[in-house]
């Protein structure tokens, strides 16, 4: 099972460390943060968009359909009162010349991405708490 580590970085920010990559998450000042990076909710929406982009790029490559420069736009509603994201809207912007007849297949491909499937089928999430030598020593 792949593992990533999220470490508190002070204030409201944290870092995600995975496979040698570090991503900082924070919240804007009006939420008590310093806006040092995207919010966790931004990262959720971005995870969906980047997963869809990967699936589209791979499909286009296999189908030999030019797709350089395409974009995936994700609009989302952050319901702060209920602590959830009840709406995610995805718009795929393909380059000029993308075959009109391939649009339905592209939508099907987008809907097969792992993050989309995970969001459609709520995973079991377990949370446990353990003492950590690294956390208590400030490492």
Sequence-distant (6+) residues with CB within 8 A of 85 are 41, 44, 45, 76, 77, 78, 79
Domain ranges for the chain, please list them. Answer: 1-38, 39-123
Q: What is the DSSP letter of 119?
A: H
Q: Provide the whole-model pTM.
A: 0.90
Render each residue's pLDDT in the chain as its tens digit; 139 residues. Answer: 788 999 999 999 999 999 999 999 999 999 999 999 999 999 999 999 999 999 999 999 999 999 999 999 999 999 999 999 999 999 999 999 999 999 999 999 999 999 999 999 989 999 999 997 666 555 5
Q: What fold characterizes domain 39-123?
A: GMP Synthetase; Chain A, domain 3 (3.30.300)
Q: What is the pLDDT of residue 99?
A: 95
């Amino acid at each position: 099972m792949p593992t990533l580590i999220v470490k508190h970085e002070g204030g409201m920010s944290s870092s995600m460390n995975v496979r040698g990559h570090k991503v900082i998450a924070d919240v804007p000042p009006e939420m008590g943060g310093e806006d040092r990076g995207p919010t966790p909710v931004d990262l959720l929406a971005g995870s969906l968009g980047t997963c869809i982009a990967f699936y589209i790029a791979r499909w286009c490559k296999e189908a030999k359909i030019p797709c350089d420069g395409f974009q995936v736009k994700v609009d989302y509603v952050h319901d702060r009162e209920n602590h959830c994201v009840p709406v995610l809207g995805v718009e795929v912007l393909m380059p000029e010349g993308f075959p009109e007849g391939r649009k339905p297949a592209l939508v099907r491909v987008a809907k097969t991405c792992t993050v989309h499937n995970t969001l459609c089928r709520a995973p079991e999430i377990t949370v446990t708490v353990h003492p950590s030598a690294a956390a208590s020593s400030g490492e």
